[in-house]
Amino acid sequence: MEDSSEPVSNPMREIRIEKIIVNMSVGKSGEPLERAKKILAQLTEQKVCTRKAKQTVKDFGIRKGEPIACLVTLRKDLAENFIKKALEAIGNKLEPSSFDNFGNFSFGIKEHIDIPGAKYVPELGIVGMDVNVTLERRGYRVKRQKIRRSHVGRRHLITKEEAMTFIQKNFGTDIIGGKK
């Protein structure tokens, strides 16, 4: 009979960052979008993708198919380094409403110069961004693979509370307001 005084941790239950998507929605094509792309490339040191408008909105002067936003996807070490800087930019504080029921969370940064290490360039100006973080456990690959695709079991999914605990423990973030 084994001694059960020490808990055995299951490596499959370990939570990790799958990816971080940094999005800058400018709302216009042309020069403002190009400036946002340069800023995003400087912050993340990655190639920037553009996104096009899905529909025409005459009130905002947006046509369907017009590029209006740019984004970068970060994974592994780049993601971890960026999230530390991004959380520092918002004072290491998140609200419970930032988290969804599947363990993902999002927050906004009003000015990119709040991120440590970002420099203000007068020609580029100041822009804000949205940061979307996707968390996962080992075994989530089964929902993305092409052959023998399957679903992730309900007990293996990440809950909102587990995501909050993960971000508090690993990044020293405070969850403010609402229920904890």
Q: How many C-beta atoms lie closer than 10 Å to residue 8's C-beta?
A: 6
Residue 89 is predicted with a pLDDT of 92
The secondary structure element, H or E, covering residue 170 is helix 160-171
Name every residue whose Cβ is closer than 8 Å to that of residue 177 and which is 6 or more positions away in sequence.
95, 96
Residues 133 and 30 sit within 8 Å (Cβ to Cβ):
no
* Residue ranges in the chain whose pLDDT is less than 70: 1-8, 178-180
Q: What is the pLDDT of residue 106?
A: 95
The token duo for 39 is 């800023």
Task: From 126, 106, 105, select the one nearest 40 (Cα to Cα).
Answer: 126
Q: pLDDT digits over 101-145, tens only?
A: 988 999 999 998 888 888 888 888 888 999 999 999 988 888 888
Contact of 52 with 66, CB cutoff 8 Å? yes
pLDDT of 1? 44
Q: Structure tokens of 121?
A: 């360039």
Task: Give the Cα separation of 94 and 87 in Å (integer).
Answer: 9
Question: Domains in the chain, ordered, with CATH?
Answer: 18-174 (3.30.1440.10)
Return the pLDDT at 12: 87
Residue-level pLDDT at 178: 60
Q: What does the pLDDT read at residue 180? A: 46
